Amino acid sequence: MRLWELIRTGLFEIYAHKTRSFLSFLSISIGVAAMLYTFSQVNGMFVQFNKALDLVGHGRLEIERKEDYRSRGLSPGLTYQDALALRRLMPELHMVSPVAQQWSQRFRYGGFSSEEPVLYGVTPEWAKRDWVYTLRGRFINDDDVLFAKRVCVMRMPGGWDEKPWWAVFWEDSKYDDFAAHNDLLDRQITLGDNLFTVVGVIKEPPRDKDPRWFSREWGSPIYIPISTYQKIMRLSNRGGKPDEVREINIDVGRGELVPAYQRRIKAVLLERHRGEEDFKIIDFRDRFQNILKNQRETARQVMAVGIVAILAGGIGIMNVTLATIYSRIKEIGIRRAIGARRRDILLQFLLEAMTLGFFGGIAGIALGYGGIWYLGRRSAETLAALELWHFAATLAIAVGTGFIFSVIPAYQASRLDPVEALRYE
């Protein structure tokens, strides 16, 4: 029997058992869709990982305070002076960017007032890190820091390029909405009790196109010179340490230099902190790996759902094949009697099952592709992360499932005795 005739016979039998075939078809489709989604997420995850790592820098370190550390009273804490010492002792470093942070400075302009903005004290080196912004005006410069000028840079939200479905639940804060609809460049604003001139406005990229992964600063930041920040903290009498910073971001350059610089930085800070290790030095690559670990766990769970659905579809195919065989025993006997070989019978039932798997796979690819486009947080990037071999692999899995689960029933059909098959009622 020719191959086309075998396929045509298979399609006829699938149509003749519509309900059972549909259930198997549906299970295969869901399994293939889940696997395609997993492929896209895992591949997209690594694409985003590489983009974010290139943006952050392979030699990126972050020095933070240990929140649960009990000080012996010897260390001044993590301070701006630590950053200056590291810059002085290691001038070859690409970036040494201290960041101080204050949440409770009320923003006022005209009749608008808000406590939502977060005040950041920074240096010009902040602009070396994760720069994805569009700048109007200028950023903080060395003179601003040297003379503690009352200037600031505001950050505007980027909005959406192509708004995903779930963004209907996203609502910008009142401050973000105000900043987006008012041009404050070269205007004077009030932060707390202090008057500042807005010398720059930086706008984020669209949220769905932002190449940063996790290294972005959340909230509604306003950036001022770190020396001005310290001066405000001293005058505010809020307590605490005016010179203290939240973190110091460092870029050592190449990734292979990170371990050596970690040791050097630790030695410098231990000496400055009088032996108290009240800080931690974080390799950004480790942080990325932790996020990747969580993403992989999610991918494994989705893959498990796909495998279960594929297995359910395979069992359904086996059931359809067995039912087809028992309903066609006499036909098998007649075919054997007029010269069909066992190989022909085996091939016929295998092709029927593989045809069902093939069309289930095609439907699953369409379902998965549509689901990825609709549900993807960054649809364009997720779809771009799919490669041709992903489609080929999922289709091969579907066809392979049909083949594997029909081998035993097809083999049994090919081993039927022709005489006994002709007697079967």
Percent over 70 (pLDDT), the chain: 83
pLDDT at 239 over 70: no
| Whether pLDDT at 32 is above 90 | no
> What pLDDT is stored for residue 211 in this prediction?
63
* 346 occurs within a structural domain: yes
Q: Are residues 299 and 222 in the same domain?
A: no
User: Which of 3-7, 14-18, 111-115 is predicted most confidently?
Assistant: 111-115
Among 11-25, 38-52, 239-253, where is mean pLDDT lowest? 11-25
Of 219, 244, 277, which marks where a domain is finished?
A: 277
Res 161: pLDDT: 67
Lookup: tokens for 99 = 């960041």
More confident of the two residues 385 and 107:
107
Residues 234 and 129 grouped into a single domain? yes
Could you tell me if 129 and 231 lie in one domain?
yes
pLDDT at 214 over 60: no
d(CA 200, CA 139): 6
Using a pLDDT cut of 90, give the percent of the chain over it: 23
pLDDT per position as a tens digit, 154-203: 988 776 666 665 566 666 678 888 888 888 999 999 998 899 999 999 98
Higher confidence at residue 416 or residue 127? 127
Domain coverage including residue 338: 3-51+290-423
Q: Does residue 125 register a pLDDT over 90?
A: yes
Say if residues 134 and 209 touch (Cβ distance below 8 Å). Answer: no
Does residue 223 lie in a domain region? yes
The verdict on residue 350 lying in a domain is: yes
- Residues 327 and 363 both lie in one domain: yes
Do 144 and 21 fall into the same domain?
A: no
Highest mean pLDDT among 1-10, 212-221, 303-312, 338-347: 338-347
Does 377 lie in the same domain as 299? yes
Does residue 222 sit within a domain? yes
Residue 263 confidence (pLDDT): 93
Give me the phi and psi of 152, to 5 degrees please.
Answer: -150, 160
Residue 389 falls inside a structural domain: yes
For residue 65, which amino acid is it?
R
The pLDDT of residue 44 is: 74
**Domain total for the chain?**
2
| Of 356 and 96, more confident | 96
With a cut of 80, say whether residue 61 has pLDDT above it: yes
Predicted confidence band of residue 337 (pLDDT cuts 50, 70, 90):
confident
Residue holding tokens 């039998």? 13
Same-domain status, 39 and 77:
no
Sign of the alpha-carbon dihedral angle for 39, 41, 42, 45: positive
User: Are the C-beta atoms of residues 383 and 41 closer than 8 Å to each other?
Assistant: no
Pair 385, 242 in one domain: no
Mean pLDDT of 259-270: 92
Domain identity same for 122 and 246: yes
pLDDT > 90? residue 294: no
Average pLDDT, the chain: 81
Instruction: Look at residue 380 and tell me whether its pLDDT is greater than 80.
Output: no
Structural domain contains residue 20 = yes
pTM as predicted: 0.69
More confident: 369 or 296? 369
Domain presence at residue 61: no
Residue 96 in 3-state DSSP? Answer: strand
The per-residue pLDDT for 81 is 94
Same domain, 101 and 131: yes
Please write the tens of the pLDDT for every residue from 222-236. Answer: 999 999 999 888 776
User: Which of 244, 277, 310 delimits the end of a domain?
Assistant: 277
In contact, 245 and 99? CB cutoff 8 Å = yes
Q: Which of 277, 310, 340 is the last residue of a domain?
A: 277
Local confidence band at 367 (pLDDT 50, 70, 90 cut-offs): confident
- Same domain membership, residue 125 and residue 252: yes
185 CB-contact burial (10 Å; exposed 0-12 / middle 13-18 / buried 19+): middle
Element (H, E) at 86: helix 80-89
For residue 398, what pLDDT is reported?
86
Residue 108 has pLDDT above 80, yes or no: yes
* Domain assignment present for 157: yes
Q: Are residues 193 and 237 in the same domain?
A: yes
pLDDT at 163: 66
Q: Which has more pLDDT, 85 or 312?
A: 85
Q: Among residues 322, 320, 327, which one has the least CA distance to residue 409? A: 322
Tell me, what's the pLDDT at 306?
A: 72
